[in-house]
Every structure is written in structure tokens, then in C-alpha cells.
Chains A and B, each alone.
Chain A
Amino acid sequence: MSVIDLVPYEEALASYDPVMGLEVHVELGTKTKMFCGCSTALGAEPNTQVCPTCLGLPGSLPVVNATGVESAIRIGLALNCEIAEWCRFARKNYFYPDMPKNFQTSQYDEPIAFNGYLDVELEDGEVFRVEIERAHMEEDTGKSTHVGGATGRIHGAEYSLLDYNRAGIPLIEIVTKPIVGAGDRAPEVARAYVAELRELIRALGVSEARMEMGQMRCDVNLSLMPKGATKFGTRSETKNVNSLRSVERAARFEIQRHAAVLDDGGTIVQETRHFHEDNGSTTSGRIKEEAEDYRYFPEPDLVPVAPSREWVEQLRGELPELPRVRRQRLQEEWGISATEMQSALNAGAIDLILATIDAGAPADQARKWWLGELARRSNEDGVELAALPISPAQVAKVSALVAEGKLNDKLARQVIEGVLAGEGEPDEVVAKRGLAVVSDDSALGDAIDAALAAQPDVADKIRSGKFAAAGALVGAVMKATRGQADAARVKELIFEKLGVTPE
């Protein structure tokens, strides 16, 4: 593999305009598969959730999952798409061992939803409209595990294991129109689009859309054209980019790589590329020497899908508040800036914050924990915020302990740490670690006396009305009690002892 000298990002964008196309596959959370009654539950033993239909046994036939169609329509409506009055499934013919019928039941020129858009908000609040080409229904393939090779790919493997549990799980493929005009913000737009789409899918309740579980997978197609040109360049297709961060990095890398090739007078090869999480690079996958011919034709085993207009309108009427609308509402309710809201979105924190508020915490406290301490932990550990081993109820409990004066901020952080470490509920962590605030006045009295004796000049200042000077004494008391004192109470006691009454 030749090493490429990437063109610096800013330099690449100075000469070229990027054009992107994003294809996102979402596994629907239906109970059963798209064309048979098998369970879609994750984690089952290989090949236990299969039947003649999803194994493609001779004679078997598909039947459309009505919930799958409903989910597709709802996604289409939420993406401002038109919904087909009549559409068919099509067979996409190609051979691969993990595809039981050697064709994928998909949709071709008659997608269920088409011509829509999704408005996405960038970090600074700028809104970018991503046009949607289509959303169509299809089935997932089985899963191949190639054993014995160095790369985990089929070439060089000693043998392969096939698990058909995933075969036939409903997928919705959402394809954007070419995204032009994003300029140097293209990678950011890509990320924001996928993030917004994920929020939308979750809000609709049609999938958990967990990218790390493969429930949502993104292909990033990218090409460059010289600045000012209108004819698109040759594109590369980076497959299965499976986190928001990776989507952004893959787009960024490809911009730099394409620019390097083009600057060198080379031509971009139309090919699929693999993205590498470890260093953010992509490498060549399969070269499309000739356009693949999938020999699409209408699936004769399935009758056309013809959703009635009444049903479509009913589904439209039942759509939940969509994420961007909801964010605008929450932003107002919480009184925060667009940027703050955007970082809450990017962190995947909005629902967690809401759940924490529902569990009794004040909004600012809920935001503070999820976007501060916990966001930091999720970054460090490389897990999604929602996957951290702490619940909104537990965060609300910690917040309540602070409000009651039983914990101060520093102690609360330690309680959170204890919960994350699996030490139990907040109360248990407090008890086990002995973290309760010292508010016993007699216990504090000794420490205060010692502090006053050690700093008589400060005591004099306070007596003469310079109340702000008390901070130095409070600090000394806190130090002496190893942070377990309630600072406000310490201050009160100091004033009491000195016989002064501040404003």
C-alpha cells in the first residue's frame, strides 16, 4: 500500500469544493424480521433465529412486515419526504455466502419515500439543509466471520462462519442528494446530519440507532471538484463508518487524500474504501472496475405496497415532536445558547438531561452533571453517554443530596465516581466512603477556633466589616476537615463567633 502525503486540510479546501453523499442504514427495532416471523433480538446463539424464509430454503416465500412499512413511512414523513402511493420491492442480485437467496430484497426505482430534507444545526447555530433523495426498505444480510486471516476479511482466511440471525432484519436505507456548498464545513455537516438523523430515528421510536451496535451504519461518498466547477469529480465510497466522530474524520481524510491525488495530476479511482478507527485513515477496498450490475427487477413474490393516503395522513398526524423543534423549545425553557444546546445534542445528552429533570433535579444541575463530569468520563472511556453505568435517577439523587446540604460539590463528584465504579446507589457510596458533609457545629467549632487563632489579622478585618476576608478562614477550615464541611455553614459560624452580621 502506497503511503499518501495528505494535503493539509485548509489547503485542500482552498483549491477544491467537496461534494458528499451520505447513505445511512438503520436497523428497525421491529420485533420480527422484515419478511418472516423470526425474532430480531440481539445476542442469541448463532443461527437460532432463523426459518425457511430467512434461510432462503427452496420453496420459502417472503411476507412483508407491516410494522416495517409503517416505520419506513414515519421516517419518510419525519424527513419531509413524499410517500409513494404505490411501490414495489425489487431484487438486487449478487452472490455472497451470507446472503441466503443470493439476492437482497430491496427497493430500486420505486422507493417508499423520496424527495425530502433534513435541517441540521452546526455548532455555531448555523442551519444547513441536507436534501434527501430517498428512503427505502430492505433486508439485512447474515453475518460472516472470517477466521484465520490477518485482516479479518475473507481473503487469507482459513474458514468462515456464517450466522443468519441477522439475515432479514429490516433496514431502512436513507440516501441524501449530493451535498454541495458545505465547503470546509463538509465534515461537520456530515457529522451533524448523522447526529440529527439518529435523534430523529430515536424520537420516532423506530430504532435505538446505536451505531456501536451496528444498528445505524453510514457510508460516506465523497468527491472533490475544482473551486467554481459544477461537474462532480469521481467519488470514493467509504463503507461502514460507525460513529459520529468517524463520519467527520472519514470525510476530512478523504478530502485531504483526494486533494493529494488530484494535486499530483492523478485521477481518483471509483472504489469502496475501509475506514480505520485507530488512525482515522481510509484504505482501498474493492475497485469497481465495471459498474456492478445487480440486475434489479420487481420482486415477484411480493405484492406492491400501496399505503392509503388516509393512513399516511394519520401517521403524519401522530408524529412525535421532532428533535430540532424540541431542542428549540428546550433551549428556550432552559435559557441556554444554541451552542450549549448543540453540545448537548452532540454528546447525546438531551434525553438523559430530561430524564434527570423528570427524576426531580433542577434543569441547570442536570445539565451541569451530564455535560460536565459525565461527558468528560464518556470521552475518556470512549463510550456513549447513555452507556455509562449511571442512571438519570442516580444523578438526580446526587443533585438532591447537594441541595439538602448533605454533599458539597467536591463530595458529589466523588459520589458520582463511586456510582460509576459500581459501588452502588448514591446513598450507599456516601455511607461507604464516609462522604457526608460535616455539619455538626461542635465538631466545626474546634476547627474554626483554631483558624481564628492562627489568623488574628483576618479576624480583625472581618470585625471591621470586610466580610469578604472570611474566605481565607473558610478555606482553612475546609482544609482541616478534608473538604467534608459545609462551606456555607462554616461561614455562618465564623460570623456568629465574631459577633458580626453581614448583609
Chain B
Amino acid sequence: MTDLIRSTAAQTANAIASGEVSAVEVAQAHLDRIGAVDEKVHAFLHVDTEGALEAARAVDAKRAAGEELGPLAGVPLALKDVFTTKGIPTTAGSKMLEGWRPPYDATLTRRLKEAGVVILGKTNMDEFAMGSSTENSAYGPTGNPWDLSRIPGGSGGGSAAALAAYEAPLAIGTDTGGSIRQPGAVTGTVGVKPTYGSVSRYGLIAFSSSLDQGGPCARTVLDAALLHEAIAGWDPMDSTSINAPVPAVVAAARQADVKGMRVGVVTEFGGEGYQAGVMQRFHESVELLRSLGAEIVEISCPSFTYALPAYYLIAPSECSSNLARFDAMRYGLRVGDNGERSAEEVTALTREAGFGPEVKRRIMLGTYALSSGYYDAYYGSAQKVRTLITRDFDRAFADVDVLISPTTPTTAFPIGERADDPMAMYLADLCTIPSNLAGNAAMSVPCGLAPEDNLPVGLQIIAPALADDRLYRVGAAVEAALNDKWGHPLLEEAPAL
């Protein structure tokens, strides 16, 4: 192995399994990289040097003992700080949880550990996953490795930036309205929102329970597939988890063939508000798929127009209830407890100090939407829209195997540009939200740089629930064809840090 930090996860795992390199060497190389660049990027909120090296040593010991290693054993990973890690700080990007060390591992964390994956640390995110730029983190923004003055997307900007900055070959994100796919798109990396219920939410600090879904982030489609198989599967601790076999996503990524597939282009995504260069790369991707043997059809999904407003009623409603537990009683921040004040006063002072403005805005929106007298008009109507969107998808998937669209309307915008304009910020998730509302599977895969700003553009692929393998077939085919065309992966065009 020549370059430990630029290798893919698949290559690294093979090198460790064959003894070409030790897991400790791989972990150390990534820790060194983090030490060298993370001050600029700020992808990590917490680096667990000791834990990472210990996990790596355990993999090396296992190999030395002749035990069989899993397909990702010894591969480093950056974990979004929204999954609990036993004894390791977990903040969800909020002051509210500063210093909290959970007494338990999320199911996903446990599965990663069991797979021998080396968790390097916890990555930055918008507070409680609410945002599209990571600017809402209570611990400061993350820079986009393509241009540190721009946002890396959000809420999982830390995870995407860690990949693009070669701080880790694998990362975990969570996608409630696009928080895996949009950061993937604007950083030139791969992000997958698996079918709702296929990756356990046990230990995922909830933003919006009916929408949240953990998923893999990587620099290649195959790496994402390997990670997908490591984390997906039924979990008795999560009532909404699906008790069905995980689709063969690794095999699909290796197949990388779209011949004979019917691909639908969603006509609602495009036009006003979409950057010209984004649409140009998207149209080229459509032609590319056609040239690879896919049959292209245009599909109209009229309800998608209402997806954004429905989302901004459902997600805040659920969050207003999910975040009620942060009351300063049992864990996390406690402000103003001077022995005189009542529990209510301490709770109020703590919430005032501990929640950022976007979180407060959504708690208030949700509280309002659920209030008696408003419930039917807001939450109730939003649920109806959700049903309509699901029906649009059902109709579309009766006709095509996958749908495609740009992942986001624009490339990465400058940090601060939309900070005071929540509506402009919310538009970043325009194309990604429908899949969360319907609970199906979607991926963002790099499809080039926008000519006007030389920043990455993502192609979104959407598949029916439990047909996640189709994402990987199409994504891997696009990736292979584009790498062929460019002669190298897109990320190699990113400026050196």
C-alpha cells in the first residue's frame, strides 16, 4: 500500500487481512492526518485516539491469532456525533449535551465495533441534526475541503468533510431530510440513505423519529456498500426496524451495470432556483446512463412540490416532543441551579442557554403545529401530503426501477451566506426530502464539478423501499464510467489542504 489515507476502505481491509499493513499503522496514519488538517477543516468534535488504537490493536491480534476478519476489519471510520458511544462524549452538536458520556452504545456503534471497524472519533453536525450546513453546530462550523470558506453541507457536514479531507475512508451519517446525501453532493463523496427501518435507530439521538435514518458515507460506492452491509439489519431494540434480509448491496456495487434498467427523471426537480452548472452535470448524467444501456423516461411526481412544507411540519412536530427530555434533570447541561430556584426555572434557564436558535425555532414550530385546534390543519395535513408523496413514488416505481434528480439545487454556498435566511437554507433539501417522507432508499453519487464554480455536483438516485441494491448498481455504474472519463476519482481534483 502506497498511500494509507487515500486508499479505499476495500483496499485497506484487504491490505490488513493480507498482512501488508497493520490496523494500527492504518489507524495511526489517519490520526496523524486528523492532527495535520482538522484544525482547518474541523470535521471532528472528539478524536478518540486511545480507543481507535486499541480497536486497531485488537484487529491485529485477531489476525495474528489466525482468526477470520470481517470485510471492514481495521478500517477507520468517522462517526457522526449523534450516535451514542459508551464512555465517549456524545453531543449531537449541542451545548445541551456538552460533557455527556453515554452509558451505552448505539446498536450501530456496537455493530461497527463487532465488525472490527476502528472508530476514530465523533464528527461535527448541525445541532440535533437540524440544518443543511453544519453552521448550526454549537461547536463552530466545519469547512468544505474543496473550499474551506464554504459549507460542507449538513447536518452531517463533519462526516462528509472527514471523507473529502482524507481523515477517514468511511463515515456514518444520519439522513432526516437529506443530511447524508446533501453533504455527500457538496463534498464530492458518496452518501446513502438506506430504506427507513433498515439501520437501527437505537442509540441515534432522535431529531424526527419517523424520518431519521442512519446510513453509510464513503469515497466510493463499493465502500459505501461494504459499510451498508455492516450496519444494516433487524434490531429487536428498534420497533421500527425491518425484519427482512438486507439487500445484496455489495454484489450490486460490484455488478455496476444498468443495462436494461428503466430510469425515471423526476420532472419537478429543475428550473428556477437550480444552478445552471448543477443542471448541466445532471443532464450529462442522464445521457451517460442512456449510453450505458439504461432506458430513460420522464416521470412527474406532482406532490413533491408540497414535500418541503410537509417536512417542516412533521419534523419540527416530532422534534418538539423528542427534545422535551432535555430538562436538566438527569444528564447534560444544568444552568442556574443555585439551590433557590425551582425545577421549572432551572429547566427553562437550561433550555434557554443550551439550545441554539434553529433548534428553538423548530421546537416552537412543532409545538404550535401539534397544538389543539391547529393539529388537523398542520400536522394532520402534512401527514396527508406524506401519503400523497408515497403514492407518487408507488406510481413511479410501477413504471421505472429507479428515479434520478440532482441531489441539491446548488453547489456548496459560502459559510454565513444563508445563516440568517432559514427559508433559503431549507431549499438545500428540496430534492432529498421526498424520500424521507416516503421512507424509501436514496443515494448521492458525485457526477462532476459545476463549470461556474468548480465545486462538486451530486446525482441523486432513488429506489423503492427494500430495493437499496438498485442504488448501488446505478451508482457504481455512473462512478465507474465517470472515473474512466476523467481518468481518476473526482476527489483528486480537490485542492490540497
Contact = CB atoms under 8 A, between A and B. Distances in A.
Contact of B239 (A63, A103, A296): A63
A295 B321 contact: yes
Interface in B340-370: 343-344, 347, 367, 370
Interface string B179-209: 0000000000000000000000111111011
Interface in A76-103: 91, 93, 95, 97, 100-103
A303 B102 CA distance: 26
Nearest to B328: A97
A102 B90 CA distance: 21
A59 B206 contact: yes
A52 B379 CA distance: 29
A34 to B, nearest CB: 12
A60 interface: yes
A61 interface: yes
Contact of A101 (B106, B202, B325, B375): B325
Contacts of A62: 239
A162 interface: yes
Contacts of B320: 93, 295
A57 to B, nearest CB: 7
Interface residues of chain A: helix, strand, loop or mixed (majority): loop
Contact of B202 (A61, A64, A100, A291): A61
Nearest to B366: A295
Nearest to B318: A300
Contact of A293 (B84, B236, B372): B372
Contact of A64 (B239, B318, B370): B239
B306 interface: no
B239 A61 contact: yes
B187 to A, nearest CB: 26
Interface string B127-157: 0000000000000000000000000000000
A302 interface: yes
Nearest to B332: A58
Given A100-B330, A300-B318, A58 B238 contact: no
Nearest to A53: B237
B203 A102 contact: no
B84 A103 contact: no
Contacts of B331: 57-58
B202 A59 contact: yes
Interface residues of chain B: helix, strand, loop or mixed (majority): loop
A137 to B, nearest CB: 14
Contact of B375 (A52, A103, A297, A303): A297
A58 B103 CA distance: 11
Given A102-B327, A295-B371, A301 B240 contact: yes
Contact of B317 (A52, A160, A297): A297
B77 interface: no
A52 B103 contact: yes
B104 interface: yes
Nearest to A297: B370
Contacts of A102: 324-325, 327
Contact of B372 (A63, A295, A301): A295
Given A295-B370, A295-B372, A57 B317 contact: no
A214 interface: no
B163 interface: no
Contacts of A300: 208-210, 240, 318
Contact of A97 (B103, B202, B327): B327
Given A59-B83, A101-B324, A101-B325, A295 B330 contact: no
B389 interface: no
Interface string A246-258: 0000000000000
A162 B83 contact: no
B92 interface: yes
B329 interface: yes
Q: How big is chain A's contact interface, by range?
A: 20 to 34
A58 B343 contact: no
Contacts of A162: 329
A297 B314 CA distance: 11
B325 A100 contact: yes
A291 B372 CA distance: 10
Given A97-B329, A295-B372, A297-B321, A58 B102 contact: yes
B438 interface: no
A55 interface: yes
A56 interface: yes
A470 B205 CA distance: 89
Interface in A91-148: 91, 93, 95, 97, 100-103
B97 interface: yes
Contact of A301 (B239, B329, B347): B239
Given A52-B104, A301-B240, A93 B370 contact: yes
Interface in A287-309: 291, 293, 295-297, 300-303
B125 to A, nearest CB: 14
A61 B370 contact: no
Given A295-B321, A300-B318, A60 B203 contact: yes
Q: Name the residue among A57, A103, A162 with the largest chain B CB count within 10 angstroms.
A: A57
B240 A59 contact: no
Contact of B209 (A64, A97, A301): A301
B201 A61 contact: yes
A407 B185 CA distance: 94
A449 to B, nearest CB: 84
Interface in B58-84: 83-84
Nearest to A303: B239
B347 A302 contact: no
B330 A55 contact: yes
Contacts of A103: 321, 324
A147 B325 CA distance: 24
Given A297-B370, A297-B379, A56 B325 contact: yes
Interface string B111-122: 000000000000
A59 B321 CA distance: 13
A62 to B, nearest CB: 7
Contacts of B379: 297
B75 to A, nearest CB: 24
A143 to B, nearest CB: 14
A301 B92 CA distance: 19
A187 B257 CA distance: 77
Contacts of A61: 201-202, 237-239
A154 B100 CA distance: 28
A395 to B, nearest CB: 48
B209 to A, nearest CB: 4
Contacts of A297: 317-318, 321, 370, 375, 379
Contacts of A55: 330
Nearest to B210: A300
B237 to A, nearest CB: 6
Contacts of A101: 324-325
A57 B239 contact: no
Given A58-B92, A58-B102, A63 B325 contact: no
A58 B319 CA distance: 12
Contacts of B106: 59
Interface string A384-416: 000000000000000000000000000000000
B90 A95 contact: no
A297 B316 CA distance: 13
Contacts of B327: 95, 97, 102
A52 B92 CA distance: 17
Nearest to A295: B370
What are the 6 closest A-B residue pairs judged by CB atoms, nearest first?
A102-B324, A300-B210, A295-B370, A300-B209, A59-B203, A58-B205
10 contacts: A52-B102, A59-B102, A60-B202, A97-B327, A97-B343, A101-B325, A297-B321, A297-B379, A300-B209, A300-B210
Interface of A: 52, 55-64, 91, 93, 95, 97, 100-103, 160, 162, 291, 293, 295-297, 300-303
Given A93-B320, A160-B343, A301-B206, 10 more contacts: A57-B84, A57-B330, A60-B104, A60-B202, A97-B329, A293-B371, A293-B372, A295-B321, A297-B317, A297-B375
